[in-house]
A and B are shown apart, each in its own frame.
Chain A
């Protein structure tokens, strides 16, 4: 197996489990955490009113600005490191759909908030638009730190082969400070593919000639030494093929252990809404992929 070939519809061999393995990008995702239960976060995000987030239990939170009623939302959290949390929740009833992702580093008291809006542009209903807010946690009787997470070039020129499950590898190429490519991969349809697999494969067929290389805008944020947050939004593919792409992938990378937790926000190929955690293990690859030598940008700016 190599990241250079992706067999769509290939089932995960599992002679023990009575159910098919979950597969996809969730197979190697580790369990979510309930550790935030009972904690309260006072977040000061630059340019915004302070916000109080009260984690009622492992699945429910209240949030609000000073003087406002607290609003209840279900949430999910995962750990990127012992004291580093990725927290996600949808703002219920928001139209267009607004999705909040917080990175809370309890060891540094720094916070990054990514506000993602699905379909902010009516002409491109699948496209996610996101905005980043940096900030810090206010602790009682302590001044607010003026340090912040910040954009970084640390990853530029590096690449990781990620493994999501026993069958699938993919290469993330961190080509520039504001863009990202996937290593070249041939798509093959499995012999026993289902109708859903065939539809999934067909979407790759439709890309041929129109979108030959996966190149998408991205941003990279340094959380602390060895820990990064990066975003990839499938803006280009959605521009050329409006029924595809548009999703935002947000990844909390532990570059020391070469593993990640992340979340995908957007529409799946079948039109259902996706806002799930994913996870992978990997290895830094010293050999560049052929896509890295292509001039930038492959797709001219909009």
Chain B
């Protein structure tokens, strides 16, 4: 949200109606309207997916009734669509996210829930299911998207809005860290109080390694599906929210589209589920997190 300290305040929008991650979101994609897909998943089930309109989707398991939900879609490139919806009426908050790869006729799905872990009621849990799209007149593709180490050791700084960006450090095949970075820049005439506050905040960052479980899946050359759950924080303090972000990215353009499935602990645990876009830059900036042993896990 733009505020008085924003470096780039928007004169057309003193108060943004969206979350800070959403500003650079591209227009929603309505191209799939009217299209239907048969998804044959590796969990042993086949599903129908029918995009009824620009906002309504009907879906269901083979032989069962289809039910409809509202959905959002973003298009990464001419053959890669990111589709997201929250299941209406489920006993636990449930979110389905798909990467439809129309180049290879493959699909990877993420089935996410909030509330499945009783001790951490706001923690998101993910199940990743691979599968294929049955294309008319073609045999089912037996290939699958797959987990990859391609991104390990790389850092990307992502810009989500005029005033917010963050680096993702892909430290292993299963974890992601956020670099500690440098102390915040202050104007030359900063007061002693401002300097003290800045130093305190920097010390806090140094003391608290942000490290969370993540997954990295290769869709094809230059296209990756990755995501993470803010589980570490939630495990340490169950009143926090173990939110989940999932993205599909083009590593050549360094651009991603994704979704955040979450609860807002600063706002009475209000449900959040929104899509976003980000634009990034690879970098190798050394950071204190490099080689730092994990205080949370043995690896």
**A284/B283 in contact, CB under 8 A:** no
| In contact, B27 and A17 (Cβ under 8 angstroms) | no
Instruction: For A34, list chain B residues within 8 Å (CB).
Output: 31, 78
Contact A257 B23 (CB under 8 A): yes
Q: Which of B221, B253, B255 contacts A18 (CB 8 A)?
A: B221
A51 on interface, CB distance cutoff 8 Å: no
Name the CB-closest residue of B to A253: B12
CB < 8 Å neighbour of B8 from A16, A17, A32, A284: A284
B280 within 8 A of A: yes
The docked-state distance in angstroms from the alpha carbon of A67 to that of B8 is: 52
CB of A14 within 8 A of CB of B27, answer no
* From B27, B30, B154, B255, residue with most partner A Cβ within 10 Å: B27
What string of 1s and 0s marks CB contacts (under 8 Å) between A118-162 and chain B? 000000000000000000000000000000000000000010010
Q: Is A288 an interface residue (CB 8 A)?
A: no
CB contact between B222 and one of A17, A161, A257, A283 (< 8 Å): that residue? A17
Across the interface, do B150 and A31 meet the contact criterion of CB distance under 8 Å?
A: no
Interface residue A35 (Cβ < 8 Å from any Cβ of B) = yes
- B251 at interface (Cβ–Cβ under 8 A)? yes
Assess the B31–A258 pair: CB atoms within 8 A.
no
Q: Taking the complex as formed, is B77 at the interface, i.e. its CB lies under 8 A from any CB of chain A?
A: yes
Bound CA span A17–B280, Å: 14
Q: With a CB–CB cut-off of 8 A, which chain B residues contact A158?
A: 11
Contact between chains at B27 and A79 (CB < 8 Å): yes
Contact B8 A226 (CB under 8 A): no
Does A19 have its Cβ within 8 Å of any Cβ on chain B? Answer: yes
Known: A14-B252, A17-B252. A258 touches B10 (CB 8 A): yes
Q: Separation in Å of the A159 CB from the closest CB of chain B? A: 10
Using A22-B253, A258-B162 as known contacts, say yes or no to A35 and B31 having CB atoms under 8 A apart.
Answer: yes
Does chain B have a CB within 8 A of A44?
no
A35 near B30 with CB under 8 A, answer yes
Asked if B135 lies at the interface with its beta carbon under 8 angstroms from chain A, I say no
How many positions in chain A have a CB within 8 Å of any CB in the partner chain?
39
CB distance from B277 to the nearest CB of A (A): 7
Nearest neighbor of B12 in chain A, beta-carbon distance: A255
For the complex, give the distance between the alpha carbons of A82 and B78 in Å: 17
The verdict on B168 contacting chain A, using a C-beta distance below 8 Å, is no
Residues of A within 8 Å of B255, CB to CB, are 28, 30
B111 interface hit (Cβ, 8 Å): no
Nearest Cβ on chain B to A57's Cβ, whole angstroms: 11
Known contacts A16-B251, A259-B24, A30 near B281 by CB under 8 Å: no
> In the complex, how many angstroms separate the beta carbon of B189 from the nearest chain A beta carbon?
16
Chain A, residue nearest B249 (CB)? A16
Q: Is B205 close to A, CB under 8 A?
A: no
Closest to A286 in B: B9
- Per the bound structure, the CA–CA distance linking A27 and B24 in Å amounts to 15
Who on chain A is nearest to B33 by CB? A35
Interface string of B1-33 (1 = CB under 8 A from A): 000000111111100100000011111111100
Determine whether B106 belongs to the interface, using a CB cutoff of 8 Å to chain A: no
Q: Is the CB of A33 within 8 A of B8?
A: no
* Nearest Cβ on chain B to A197's Cβ, whole angstroms: 20
Which B residues are in CB contact (< 8 Å) with A285? 8
CA distance in complex: A256, B221 (Å): 34
**How distant is the Cα of A28 from the Cα of B26 in the complex, in angstroms?**
11
Report yes or no: B26 in contact with A284, Cβ–Cβ below 8 A: no
B12 A28 Cβ-Cβ under 8 A: no
- Establish whether residues A30 and B30, one from each chain, have CB atoms under 8 Å apart when the complex forms: no
The answer to the question of A194 belonging to the interface, with a C-beta cut-off of 8 Å to chain B, is: no
Interface residues in A48-67 (C-beta closer than 8 Å to B): none
Interface centre among A158, A281, A285 (most CB of B within 10 A): A281
Please, how many angstroms separate the alpha-carbon atoms of A302 and B118 in the complex?
Answer: 75
Looking at the assembled complex, report how far the CB atom of A155 sits from the nearest CB atom of chain B, in whole angstroms: 9
- Known contacts: A283-B162, A283-B163. The answer to whether A22 contacts B280 by CB under 8 A is no
B10, B151, B277, most chain A CB atoms within 10 A:
B10
* Residue A243 CB within 8 A of the other chain: no
Are A283 and B8 also in contact (CB < 8 A) when A22-B253, A34-B31, A258-B162 are? yes
- CB atoms of B254 and A255 under 8 A apart: no
Q: Tell me if B31 and A30 are in contact (CB < 8 A).
A: no
**With an 8 A cutoff between CB atoms, is B75 at the interface?**
yes
Find out whether the CB atom of A166 lies under 8 angstroms from the CB atom of B280: yes
Bound complex: CA A12 to CA B154 (Å): 15
In contact, B150 and A16 (Cβ under 8 angstroms): yes
Beyond the given A13-B282, A84-B27, A284-B12, please list 5 additional residue pairs across the A-B interface where CB-CB is below 8 A: A16-B222, A19-B252, A30-B277, A163-B279, A255-B13
Q: Closest 4 CB pairs between A and B? A: A283-B8, A283-B162, A166-B281, A79-B27
